Amino acid sequence: MVIVGKIFAYWDRFMFRKIILPYMLCFVGIVSVAAEPFQGPFRSDKNNIIVVIDPAHGGSDLGVIGHSGTTEKDITLAIAKNIEVMIKDALPNIQVHLTRVGDVSLTNYIRTDMIVEKDADIFISLHSDGSMNDHTSGMFVVYYSDIEPAGYSTEAHSTDNTIDPSESILLGRTIADSIQRDLLLSEPIRIMKYPSSLLKNVIVPAIIINLGFLTNPLEESQLKLEATQKKISHAIIVALDAYYNIWALKHNQQYDNGTNWTK
């Protein structure tokens, strides 16, 4: 009976940690987000613009694996850490939080719950892609839409989010253009609409950056280079600065990327 009791006790703890708790966090996050519509980054009660960077996958969830063994979880974490370190000197007014800093697996609910926890202004999730065709290549940026993708789009569509999708499109376009310039890419990076479950209930400007196809040997060899990772990180930081300059002009506010800003 003692053994049976221990088994039931372990099962109860497992059920709570693995099943009940994630759904509780999801519910709390959705309620909290719904109660606080996006007010923009230039609020008098905030000292910093706050950006959550989400390195996809982690732990036992490897993500896409390239032909030489490069994993999506390692590429996304390396670039996220670069952004976190580099932005401290480049843009002191922008504070970055990572959803994970180590090799751990997280649910989508825990990832997006950090937006509420940190009172974030932007959410960026880093991914790579894979294909059965080794020649498939290219970066692209995804914003949330409940309409199935039909290719490149710059139009706003109705969504389950309370945030205007045009804000996410602006963010995505600014980052895509910056990465294209830094990496000297000949083709524009596509902006795609997609009903992503990760982005569905996010009410701040939010995008997924697909960094390329690890199943393409050339793109895999490039993405695992530290130099390429730093170029991508630098391009994202430059784009964040440009995005907030555009956002401030659009909303008749003043933005200072140094030590303070005023309305």
169 within domain boundaries: yes
Dihedral sign computed on CA atoms, order 239, 129, 137, 146: negative
Contact 231, 182 (CB under 8 A): yes
162 within domain boundaries: yes
C-alpha separations of 130 from 70, 137, 170, 210 in Å = 12, 9, 26, 10
Q: How far apart are CA 11 and CA 31, in angstroms?
A: 29
22 within domain boundaries: no
Which pLDDT score is estimated for 20? 47
Which pLDDT score is estimated for 148? 53
CATH code of the domain in which 47 resides: 3.40.630.40
29 within domain boundaries: no
256 within domain boundaries: no
DSSP one-letter string for 73-112 = HHHHHHHHHHHHHHHHHH-TTEEEEES-SSS----HHHHH
Pairing of strands 206-213, 190-194: unpaired
Give the number of domains in the chain. 1
Which pLDDT score is estimated for 39? 57
Helices (DSSP H) in 118-254: which residue ranges? 165-183, 217-223, 226-250
21 within domain boundaries: no
**Residue 20 DSSP one-character state:** I
Which pLDDT score is estimated for 201? 86
pLDDT digit string (tens) for the chain, length 263 residues: 444 444 444 444 444 444 444 444 444 343 333 434 555 666 666 778 999 999 999 999 999 999 999 999 999 999 999 999 999 888 988 999 999 999 999 999 999 999 999 999 999 999 999 999 999 999 999 999 876 544 434 333 333 445 678 889 999 999 999 999 999 998 889 999 999 999 988 989 999 999 999 999 999 999 999 999 999 999 999 999 999 988 888 877 777 776 443 33
Record the tokens describing residue 35, joined without a space. 């109660």
14 within domain boundaries: no
Which pLDDT score is estimated for 252? 79
What is the span of the domain harbouring residue 143? 36-250
263 within domain boundaries: no
